[in-house]
Chains A and B, each alone.
Chain A
Amino acid sequence: MRHIWIFGAIWVVLTAIAEWALSSYIASDPFYSVEGVQAHIALDAFDFLLRLVVPVGTFVTVFILYSILRFRADRSSQQDSPHQFRYNPAFTWSWVGVSIALNLLFVIHPGITGLQQLWASAAHAQASSEVDVEVSASQWEWQFSYPQYGLEDVVNQDGQDELVLPEGKTVKFTLESEDVVHGFWIPALGQKKDVIPGMTRTIYFTPTVADDTSHNPMMRVQCTVICGAGHPYMEADVRVLPQAQFDAWVQQQKKLSASGS
């Protein structure tokens, strides 16, 4: 019994310390430079899981360390342990119970609730259809078109493909691939979706901070599914602009494409 109390105390204390350390770690947001609604949904889920997983991790780790330290055989006596038992219903069933409860909890929250939030963010966009972007993936290039504004394959001054988004709006991306499977990921916006040839898929992003690739390298489009020689090069710059600047950019692009054609 004494062992159980000591072990329990160490476990509780270490868990508390670990949780406390995590809080400050999470507060400093070292995980992502997240700058979007969907990314925050994932991040919240991540943080929640982290908090619940820590006690499990410390339980097993402390158990191992405690056993090594306290149940170590001294060199002189090599006998078997005097405490032989094959079963302990309380320990076993609470183990089974807790693991079932935890896992079911994880499915419901943050699993299903998180997906629910993702749906909600998308439903909002479907209703108001604020900005549509058509993404075309090919070996090894991303191309972005804005059908609402009649813009096709937009590029920046250097002629590079570039994705420009308005701040605070939910953008609907329509993804199509011309050849092999690619993966559409904007790390700072925290979600990705595979682009499969022969299929049209959609994903929604709501950037919340005006930022761009040069300031936050996670604000970039990155291919995540291996697609051949150019896979690591298959990225594109992203610029998130306040609405006014975004409108100006649209006008400018329209002029450019008018003069270009």
Chain B
Amino acid sequence: MATEMGAQHTGEKEESAPQHRPSLPPVLRGMVWGGIAFALLNFFVIAIQRPEYGALVSEVSVSVGMGGALIGWLLGIGGYETWLLPWFGRPAAWREPEGWQRYFSFSTDHKVIGIQYLITATGTFLVAGMVAMAMRYNLMTPSLNLFPTSVAYESAVSIHGTLMLFAVSVVAIVGGFGNYFVPLMIGAKDMVFPRLNGISYWLIPFGVLTILLSPLLGGFVTGWTGYEPLAARSPSGQIFYYIGVFTLGLSSLLTAVNVIATTVFLRAPGVTWGRLPMFVWAMLVTSLLNLYWVPSIGTTFILGLLDRLVPTDFFGQGGLPLAWQSLFWLFGHPEVYIIMLPAWGIWLEVLPVFARKTLFAQRWALIGFIVIMLMSNLVWAHHMFTDMGNAEMIPFMLFTELISIPTGFMYLVALGTMWRSRIRLTTPMILVLMSLFNFLIGGLSGVFLADGPVNLAVHDSYFVVAHFHYTIIGGMVFAWLAGMYYWLPKITGHAINEVWGKINAVAIFIGFNATFGQMFLAGMHGMNRRIALYPAYLAHQNLWISISAFVLGAAFASTMVNFGIAWVRGRQVGANPWDAKTLEWKTASPPPKENFEEIPVVTEGFYGYGNAGAEPEIFVPRVAVAADPPAPPTGVSG
């Protein structure tokens, strides 16, 4: 970190130094170096350990090997030239490839990195979605019909959940749109730490692959929550869960550092705190949550890993199994806001553009963000009502109900903005409205779960599965898709087919509600979660859930095809196809290398439609605005 600052610039000094392309393509070189590092460390540990029966791998050797593999991979992908050499005072002899190859190598351009994140998240979404399809196929009948064993099914659930949460929902919007659009929306040329950003992206494929490869070690059966002491007895694939999630978390953390520093320091003249677009606010608040909670869960995961490797006994019989749950959910609940805050950011950007109306009660959305951020760590134990005495539930019931008040502010703002507006029903707008509806159902079902007696009835059943899919898919994935339809034209310069967009959106909406709406009922009828087989009386319902799920899967796939077609041969669009007001639309589509021809100077807020007039600077105390150095108040230019 520290050396980044100095060395980065010494590196740039020597631009004319001989720059060589590595002899292998970076991805390949990363794999080779990572593979070599893994093999060396693995056999080194084995040589020390000398396990019985001449085994060539052990959990310790694999864990150490994976540490080496990660470093080898990062160096191979370009870290060697961009990090290691400058670190020792040598010039950064790295030349970024041109054209499509840029996306397969280390990059310092936040736009390239944003696209890398988006593509990776989309790919992971499809893979983990295929796993879900396999799960639903298996659940069409009450007995095992696709997976050979119950452990195989449980591993599939675990991989699906772990990837969807740690590599899709917290990555797609923050890593993808966050990297791409935060600098653009605040009028900056790049992030504060571009090289850190490059590294941060390349952690993602490593984490995803690690989790996907866990079946090589027998998979893991704990689900994404990794409850102890089961985790200590799970097949060895569990260590890939710890390592994979840790790596993905590290990536989120580095992104958070970058987003915070960038938002604080690189705002263009006139982008005061009071004028900051809501999406950027959402990114900032999300990053603060990441900054706090990711290291906490990372440490917890290390402790879990040590419980398997050493073995220590933090969470086993001698230790406190409940301590794992508390530590996990202390992070786990903020995590759900890490997922939803960016989605709300997209709601609040898309709505005014297509309603042609200024944001209503913008201040309340911001209050909501901040109160949620502060309160999100007070409610963790509502995931553990079945673990506690009745009296202990009351404070968590209270906090959980209370946190739905600031959440409601998002609706206050959204609905107020739509009232007496002039709505253009484009695909992004339709998806945001669908997201509003789905998240409403998700949130209202949360009211039931927050209630002690009801929670004891439906907890750990499909009711909960329905609830969180309504919030995550219904809320976050729909908003993400809305963001894709809204921003892909900016990113690619090509329009997306609106007719197909709308057809797909409706298909997803129907498939989604059919699938997960029925899951509420399955849960109330006594279907518990994470099971490969179930009592016969649930068969009829599950068959219909599966059929709906296949419709949903097909609709998602078709959406991706639509994106792909648009990317390759969509109609060219201009700088501002939606007639929006934030800064990213003030530059070409796709934006040039340095984002703006010249750094823009902003003189009014971004939501001033019609006769609304300039945005009043009311929503942050004046001190904050005044203490803000890069924004000379008189910075008005031609």
Contact = CB atoms under 8 A, between A and B. Distances in A.
Interface of A: 3, 30-32, 38-39, 41-43, 45-46, 49-50, 53, 56-57, 60-61, 63-64, 67-68, 71-73, 77-88, 91-92, 95-96, 99-100, 103-104, 106-107, 110-112, 114-115, 117-119, 179-181, 183, 185, 187-188, 190-194, 196-199, 217-218, 220, 222-233, 235
A71 B387 contact: no
Interface in B587-638: 609-613, 616
Contacts of B230: 180-181, 226-228
B425 A106 contact: no
A232 B459 CA distance: 16
B456 A42 contact: yes
Nearest to A188: B526
Interface residues of B, number: 90
Contacts of B457: 32, 39, 42-43, 46, 190-192
B294 interface: no
Interface string B448-480: 101111101101110000000000000000000
B423 A67 contact: yes
B562 to A, nearest CB: 22
Interface in B374-411: 384, 386-387, 390-391, 393-394, 397-398, 401-402, 404-405, 408, 411
Interface string B432-455: 010011001100100110111110
Contact of B401 (A46, A68, A104, A224): A104
B221 interface: yes
B405 A99 contact: yes
Residue with the highest number of chain B CB atoms closer than 10 Å, among A63, A112, A115, A223: A115
B415 A63 contact: yes
B149 interface: yes
Contact of B425 (A72, A88, A114): A72
B528 A223 contact: yes
A163 B532 CA distance: 24
B25 interface: no
B234 A232 contact: no
A192 B398 contact: no
Contacts of B136: none
A114 B528 contact: no
Q: Give me the 9 closest cross-chain CB pairs, A-B, nearest first.
A: A187-B526, A80-B610, A84-B612, A232-B531, A114-B453, A224-B460, A73-B422, A83-B420, A42-B457
19 contacts: A49-B451, A50-B448, A71-B419, A79-B610, A81-B422, A84-B612, A92-B412, A95-B412, A112-B397, A118-B453, A119-B390, A180-B227, A181-B227, A185-B528, A191-B457, A229-B154, A231-B530, A232-B532, A235-B535
Nearest to B525: A218
B317 interface: yes
Interface string B351-364: 00001111111101
B356 A57 contact: no
A197 B229 contact: yes
Contacts of A32: 457, 524-526
Nearest to B357: A81
A82 B610 contact: yes
A180 to B, nearest CB: 4
A73 B317 contact: no
Nearest to B394: A112
B32 to A, nearest CB: 37
A22 B444 CA distance: 16
A14 to B, nearest CB: 14
Contact of B355 (A77, A81, A96): A81
A42 B221 CA distance: 31
A87 B610 CA distance: 15
Given A115-B390, A181-B229, A198 B610 contact: no
Contacts of B440: 57, 60-61
Interface string B93-124: 00000000000000000000000000000000
Contacts of B362: 86
B423 A68 contact: yes
Contacts of B221: 226, 228-229, 231
Given A71-B421, A115-B393, A110 B460 contact: no
A87 to B, nearest CB: 6
Nearest to A184: B386
Contacts of A235: 535
B533 interface: yes
Contacts of B433: 64, 68
A103 B397 CA distance: 10
Contacts of B441: 57
B42 to A, nearest CB: 28
Contacts of A53: 444, 447-448
Interface string B544-587: 00000000000000000000000000000000000100000000
Contacts of A225: 227, 460
A104 B154 CA distance: 39
B295 interface: no
Nearest to A113: B453
A35 to B, nearest CB: 12
Contact of B448 (A49, A86, A188, A197): A49
A203 to B, nearest CB: 9
B60 interface: no
A222 B340 CA distance: 33
A260 B418 CA distance: 75
A183 B460 contact: yes
A235 B531 CA distance: 12
A224 to B, nearest CB: 4
A45 B612 contact: no
B428 to A, nearest CB: 14
A87 B437 CA distance: 23
B453 A41 contact: yes
A91 B409 CA distance: 12
Contacts of A60: 411, 415, 436-437, 440
Nearest to A31: B524
B450 A106 contact: yes
B67 interface: no
Given A81-B355, A115-B394, 20 more contacts: A31-B521, A41-B453, A46-B454, A60-B437, A61-B440, A63-B418, A72-B425, A73-B422, A79-B610, A80-B610, A81-B357, A83-B420, A107-B394, A107-B398, A111-B394, A119-B390, A180-B230, A187-B525, A194-B384, A228-B154
Contact of B149 (A92, A103, A119, A229): A229
Contacts of B390: 115, 118-119
B151 interface: yes
Given A53-B444, A95-B408, A106-B450, A82 B611 contact: yes
Residue with the highest number of chain A CB atoms closer than 10 Å, among B234, B422, B436, B612: B422
B322 interface: yes
A217 B526 contact: yes
A73 B424 contact: yes
Contacts of A115: 390-391, 393-394, 452-453
Given A71-B420, A179-B229, A86 B317 contact: no
B321 interface: yes
Contacts of A78: 424, 579
